[in-house]
Structure 1
Amino acid sequence: MTQQATPPRTIRVLVAEDQAAVRSGLVLILRSAPGIEVVGEATDGRQAVDMARALSPDLVLMDVQMPRLDGVSATREVVRAQLADVLVLTTFDLDEYVFGALRAGAAGFLLKDSDAATLIEAVRTVARGEGLIAPAVTRRLIAEFGRAGSAAASSGGADPSALAALTPREREVLGCVGQGLSNAQIAERLTMAEATVKTHVSRVLGKLELRSRVQAAVLAQELGVEGP
């Protein structure tokens, strides 16, 4: 008997946005995409955290400027409780809210004026564990973090000596993450399976006590860890 392929897992998304028109537009776009299910809509940060806890989504699409509890604080609570990955929405490229959200452990960010295709691909990318969407944006963020001297805050207090816990291969993977490479790009460069890269990234985050791929990228740049 021929074994049937396992169907792709549906990505369950919670949309947190206080502006009704914007929220409706986001929900409409996501619901039109195969493999994505909108499981809830939150109108402020506090509701976003409560709904994330109740609904267990895979990802929260989080506006950073919301009433009651701002998106940065909401992101911190969601990530700390390991309720879901967070993709933050912002109006401005690389503003203070973006940095705050990434320090809080967000997996990436997206501009509100992004088109439908970009939004859908961003959700799928973050759901795959890829972190920030565009490598070029990743490198810009890393540079900004480095100039601001915020790597210590980003890494959650990780000590440079913690790098000693990494295997040589894990250091190579960390260096590639620091260059803004995706899992697929790292796999090609290091000649390994993409699934193996994902495992290495997870181990690096665990050993360095980091909460997101972005934090790992920032730390790699700050400590001068380079890929091959």
Structure 2
Amino acid sequence: MGLSLNAIAPDFCADTTEGQIRLHEWIGDDWCLLFSHPKDFTPVCTTELGAMAHMKAEFDRRGVKLIGLSVDPVSSHRRWSQDIAETQGMAPNFPMIGDPNLEIAKLYQMLPEEAEGAAGDRTAMDNATARSVFVIGPDKRIKLIILYPMTTGRDFNEVLRAIDSLQLTARHKVATPANWRQGEDVIIVPAVSDEEAREKFPAGWDAPRPYLRLVAQPG
């Protein structure tokens, strides 16, 4: 069984391209986006790491630290970074975790515990399930998990949209509807009574159904 939402994100020490870290200590009071790759020098992942480097300022603005993981050693990550810079216009500007013994991939249940061999003995297809996105909150709990196949590049604009929702709904007793974007109406959660809602949202709301109360996004 995989890790579940709201579980404590497993802590670990690891070597990265920016030195050794302990995950929980490194996160501190921020949010964290941890995303994994099955092998260095893979084509889809090359484009993803370049895209994240270009988008880092958007994550910084939201107080989200980026950290990548690939099932290869840090020395390989550094060589790969040169390719990413040359083909994508920017090298990763965030730490990349080395996981040559598959320890973190197994800890996060991206690979089965019985997976054999070290990184050098395995192909990207052997590690195909190491294509996860984990959003971790300041409380060190997992807020979002997305798993992609190797053939589908990740849409990090969608990850940003989800983080906007996670951060908004952590501050207010609201939920976000399908296809919601920053600034659009939100939903008052069912746990909030109409009486409490009148105090929180004195300007009122629209209710096409008693259980579906739409209100302007709170500040």
Give the TM-score category using the shorter length. under 0.3
Higher-strand-fraction structure: 2
Q: Which structure's relative contact order is higher, taking Cα pairs within 8 Å and 6+ residues apart?
A: 2
Larger Rg: 2
- Higher normalized helix content (fraction of residues): 1
